[in-house]
Chain A
Amino acid sequence: MGEPRVPEYGAGTIPFDHALHGDSIGLDCAACHTGSRASANAFMPSKADCMDCHRLPLTEKPGIETLDSLLAKADERPWSHGRHLPEHVVFHHGVHASAGVACADCHGTGYMQNRYGGEKFDMQTCLKCHRGETFREKGFKPAASYCAACHR
């Protein structure tokens, strides 16, 4: 599964490339996904978050000024990003960030983030730390493993 040549379309059909906007430019996930450190929901960025950086031309590539001016003129389109997790699952981003889990541990890095979750999420992904040995290897605190900790 190699890196795709063009960025794939994300949840909102905006051709945004995570690989371009990540570690390579020293940008932390929480700069745009403002809830990822302390809230349950990580939130999708608003136009204001994009404009924070795109107010001025950021590279010397031709077309950056076109991008900036179009972005400034575009209307605010709220995300129609529905919850991907089923109703009976409780997931709190903030609790995991506070416990030392890095965003990349679940969401992958670079181009993999263009697809939600980087890989398919299921309960097995969670159990690797919540019941398995991975949390010890990564140095996280032991996580709750009784059903009612995460389900309702």
Chain B
Amino acid sequence: MGMDRREFIKSCSLVAMMGLLFGCRKVSLDALAAGEPGLAQFEEEVKLAISHAKRQFDLVKVARPGLLEIPGASSVNRFGMAIDLDLCDGCGKCILACNVENNVPLVPAEDAARGRFMHWIDMHGSAPFMCAHCGKAPCERVCPTGAANHTPDGLSAMMYKRCTGSRFCGANCPVQARKFNFNDARKLGLAHQFNKNIPLRDKGVMEKCSLCLHRLQDDRLKFKTSLTVGATAEEWRGRGVKTACSESCPKNAIIFGNWLDDESPLVQRTKNRVLYAPRELANLDPSVVFMRGRR
């Protein structure tokens, strides 16, 4: 033993100090080493995703979305989107905007190399595709916990805290719109909470396009405290709300709005157009549709 008692006690207390300093931290040493990812990495990943674009969907004509056929459906609000394929050039700005707005995590390099990303919007051909918020959603039917459910105003909502990770919903979606958190993104240093209003998801939870539910919620809550509440019979219609993807599109190709509101840009811009949806979704009453050509 080359060490004397003094040295030994010194090194023991040093180890104890390190334990206290690092053992109590919420952030693991892996993440400390990995660091928090910056915006540049998210941009790189989006570029990579576009280069891995999957095959374009077969589009078939669908009727204009109307009243939802579910019990308790609202008669005045049904939110949805229309994507104008004549205007879209596949630039991918919508994907980046969505990722930043919703704190979507990066994926490990092996997954990225295989073209598997956590992005809620995926490029198919040169068209962006995300959850279509089907009125007859096959995912909601098979969720064992009710985490996948439908709101009265037309959103296919995903409640992360109820999700137990069965992945039945992901398996049942005919177009693979749902993404599963196989990794603990926080621990691996793959997540960045760009938007403090949205929680980061845990490992083992499914996620997908939420039609920017948080923006709709904030708008509705603001409406309910305005001075005219109770004075008039006016209902909240979500006017003026835009999803992050629709806001970011430089060609205004993504139109968000309310299918049941005549003043909504969605209704006005789809008036004389033919509406399409992927063949697999045509009978499921999608709220997100595509447009191409003039009638």
Shortest A87–chain B CB gap in Å is 4
On whether the beta carbons of A148 and B213 are closer than 8 Å, the reply is: yes
On whether the beta carbons of B225 and A98 are closer than 8 Å, the reply is: yes
A-side interface mostly: loop
A92 to B223, CA, bound (A): 12
Interface 0/1 of B209-226, CB less than 8 Å to A:
010011001000100110
The answer to the question of A81 belonging to the interface, with a C-beta cut-off of 8 Å to chain B, is no
The answer to the question of B144 belonging to the interface, with a C-beta cut-off of 8 Å to chain A, is no
A94 to B218, CA, bound (A): 12
A94 and B152 contact, Cβ closer than 8 Å, known pairs A148-B213, A148-B217:
no
A94 and B221 contact, Cβ closer than 8 Å, known pairs A87-B199, A146-B151, A146-B152:
yes
> Using a CB-CB cutoff of 8 Å, which residues 137-170 of chain B contact chain A?
146, 149, 151-152, 155, 157, 159-162
Q: Which B-chain residue is minimally distant from A148 (CB atoms)? A: B157
The answer to the question of A38 belonging to the interface, with a C-beta cut-off of 8 Å to chain B, is yes
By a CB distance below 8 angstroms, the chain B residues around A97 are 225
A88 and B199 contact, Cβ closer than 8 Å, known pairs A146-B149, A146-B151, A148-B155:
yes
**Interface size on A (CB < 8 Å)?**
19
A75 to B217, CA, bound (A): 38
User: Which of A38, A39, A94, A152 touches B217 (beta carbons < 8 Å)?
Assistant: A152
On whether the beta carbons of A95 and B160 are closer than 8 Å, the reply is: no
The answer to the question of A77 belonging to the interface, with a C-beta cut-off of 8 Å to chain B, is no
The answer to the question of B87 belonging to the interface, with a C-beta cut-off of 8 Å to chain A, is no
A151 to B163, CA, bound (A): 13
On whether the beta carbons of A151 and B159 are closer than 8 Å, the reply is: yes
Shortest B166–chain A CB gap in Å is 17
Shortest B212–chain A CB gap in Å is 10
Residue of B162, B197, B217 most packed against chain A (CB within 10 A): B217
On whether the beta carbons of A147 and B199 are closer than 8 Å, the reply is: no
A147 to B149, CA, bound (A): 8
Shortest A30–chain B CB gap in Å is 13
Shortest B30–chain A CB gap in Å is 22
A151 to B149, CA, bound (A): 12
On whether the beta carbons of A147 and B159 are closer than 8 Å, the reply is: yes
On whether the beta carbons of B225 and A95 are closer than 8 Å, the reply is: yes
Shortest A40–chain B CB gap in Å is 7
By a CB distance below 8 angstroms, the chain B residues around A102 are none
By a CB distance below 8 angstroms, the chain B residues around A38 are 225
A94 to B220, CA, bound (A): 12
On whether the beta carbons of A88 and B161 are closer than 8 Å, the reply is: yes
The answer to the question of B27 belonging to the interface, with a C-beta cut-off of 8 Å to chain A, is no
On whether the beta carbons of B160 and A88 are closer than 8 Å, the reply is: yes
By a CB distance below 8 angstroms, the chain A residues around B197 are 152
On whether the beta carbons of B221 and A40 are closer than 8 Å, the reply is: yes
By a CB distance below 8 angstroms, the chain A residues around B213 are 148, 152
On whether the beta carbons of B155 and A92 are closer than 8 Å, the reply is: no
Interface 0/1 of A19-56, CB less than 8 Å to B:
00000000000000000001110000000000000000
> Using a CB-CB cutoff of 8 Å, which residues 37-79 of chain B contact chain A?
72
User: Which of A87, A90, A147 touches B221 (beta carbons < 8 Å)?
Assistant: A90
User: Which of A87, A88, A95, A151 touches B224 (beta carbons < 8 Å)?
Assistant: A95
On whether the beta carbons of A95 and B221 are closer than 8 Å, the reply is: yes
A positions within 8 Å CB-CB of B? 38-40, 86-88, 90, 92, 94-95, 97-99, 146-149, 151-152
**11 intermolecular pairs with C-beta atoms under 8 Å apart:** A38-B225, A40-B221, A87-B199, A92-B224, A94-B221, A95-B224, A146-B72, A146-B157, A147-B146, A147-B157, A152-B213
B positions within 8 Å CB-CB of A? 72, 146, 149, 151-152, 155, 157, 159-162, 197-199, 210, 213-214, 217, 221, 224-225, 229-230
The 10 closest A-B pairs by CB, nearest first: A94-B225, A87-B199, A148-B157, A92-B221, A148-B151, A95-B224, A147-B159, A152-B214, A88-B199, A38-B225
